[in-house]
Structure 1
């Protein structure tokens, strides 16, 4: 059956790859985006997920056109890298609000319909940095690590209602964000991974699709790394 799927930040990079894999499977896919022109083929809803009222309005539009969200992929995120001594409080707060607090907003709103249906999939896109840490990314690492505790708490809270809650933890991935780095920076990141390459967005999307599938119905509270082995042991 075609499900109602929402992917936040689904207009580019990993989010777009995730949206495409669900659409190709026949699901009704909505994406949120904050700026630019959204890709064709999805229900694109302009929404700043740091604004609770915009989140509410986005859900109303999605529910009206696709029905209650059955699969939520909380993917939207930002970086504002800086060493701790130079990191402003605004940069720290902005990353936490977009990457972590916004996940609370969209998950809380999605859970309303999932509880009524007594089924649902909550999937949070974190990062290998969440468990490894990274100099200059204290805000980003903290926000992504927070997603793991958040997802596992929801797994315990909502599991009896047929709702699973899991995390996908990507390593360095071929996206526009990474393309902006220097070749030296990219090479240094790749060398940390035993597989000696970056992930493709489609590989992250495949892991998300698996956690949303019937075959993953007994998996909850899990962190699925798609990082080329960089996070082994964590």
Structure 2
């Protein structure tokens, strides 16, 4: 059986990771590289991607584009289609829709612009990426798509209805496409992180942080590496009989 920590579990394959410059994105890229994959790393800011390229010299293919720019996304997939035939890159095996944004606000003062921004980045952009990726994967009748969801989208949270809605929409697409794409050998799963120690949660003051931690059975925040390990498992052959599954990475959060 192939382990998700096996340095050869993704050897000869390529994986596209969106939002590669964030802390979770960097951890996912590292996990894929350690499993032997070539990684197409997406970012809007080339300078922010530079440290990742320096750390993994020659093993990461940078893709600089805005995930919400439909024309740019199409062009990048045309480039991926050309590059994936290179022997040192390999066919597109995985897509990790990791790019995301979160704004907190009660519904009474929620900005429609912020709602649309979250829907565009958290749902519409991943949907287009899945549409284009599955066309490439279907040719080899094999592939794995992993969407980074959220326990907020699973359970809801006061003051986060817009964000929860965008992630819940992506969950609906995840479980539906798992059924639609299974006949052509493509698996579609999601990971639903809980309270993860990243820039998205560090603005919490200590009192608010303690309240959240008290509701987590494991009594600690998660790490980007915790999320990356779950993503790596779902990309690998170790999860070959798993599709349409949403894997919580939340330390057993109690609503």
Comparing 5-14 with 171-180, greater Cα deviation is found at 171-180
Aligned position for 1:92: 115
Task: Pick the aligned partner of 1:130 from 153, 160, 166.
Answer: 153
**Following TM superposition, by how much is the alpha carbon of 1:187 offset from its aligned partner in structure 2, in angstroms?**
1.9
Comparing 63-72 with 150-159, greater Cα deviation is found at 63-72
Whether 2:10 is the aligned partner of 1:9: answer no
**Following TM superposition, by how much is the alpha carbon of 1:133 offset from its aligned partner in structure 2, in angstroms?**
0.6
Q: In 2, are the aligned partners of 1:22 and 1:29 still within 8 Å (CA)?
A: yes
Change (3 A) 1:207 1:231: farther
Aligned position for 2:31: 21
Whether 2:73 is the aligned partner of 1:59: answer no
Say which SS state the counterpart of residue 210 (structure 1) adopts. Answer: helix
**Following TM superposition, by how much is the alpha carbon of 1:181 offset from its aligned partner in structure 2, in angstroms?**
2.6
CA deviation profile, 1:16-65 (whole Å, cap 9, x unmatched): 10110011111101111123420212212111111111111222233333
Aligned position for 2:88: none
Say which SS state the counterpart of residue 68 (structure 2) adopts. Answer: coil
Say which SS state the counterpart of residue 76 (structure 1) adopts. Answer: coil
Aligned position for 1:169: 192
Say which SS state the counterpart of residue 196 (structure 1) adopts. Answer: coil
Aligned position for 2:94: 71
Say which SS state the counterpart of residue 189 (structure 2) adopts. Answer: strand
Aligned position for 1:82: 105
Runs of 4+ more than 3 Å apart: none
Aligned position for 1:213: 236
**Following TM superposition, by how much is the alpha carbon of 1:229 offset from its aligned partner in structure 2, in angstroms?**
0.5
Gaps of 5+ in 1: none
Separation of aligned partners in 1, 2:12 and 2:199: 31
CA deviation profile, 1:81-121 (whole Å, cap 9, x unmatched): 11101001111111011001111011001011111110000
Task: Pick the aligned partner of 1:46 from 49, 64, 70.
Answer: 64
Say which SS state the counterpart of residue 29 (structure 1) adopts. Answer: strand
How well do the aligned residues superpose, as a CA RMSD in angstroms? 1.4
Aligned position for 2:128: 105
TM-score of the two chains, using structure 2 as the length reference: 0.87
Separation of aligned partners in 1, 2:40 and 2:13: 11
Say which SS state the counterpart of residue 43 (structure 1) adopts. Answer: strand
Gaps of 5+ in 2: 1-10, 86-90
**Following TM superposition, by how much is the alpha carbon of 1:231 offset from its aligned partner in structure 2, in angstroms?**
5.7
Matched pairs, number: 232
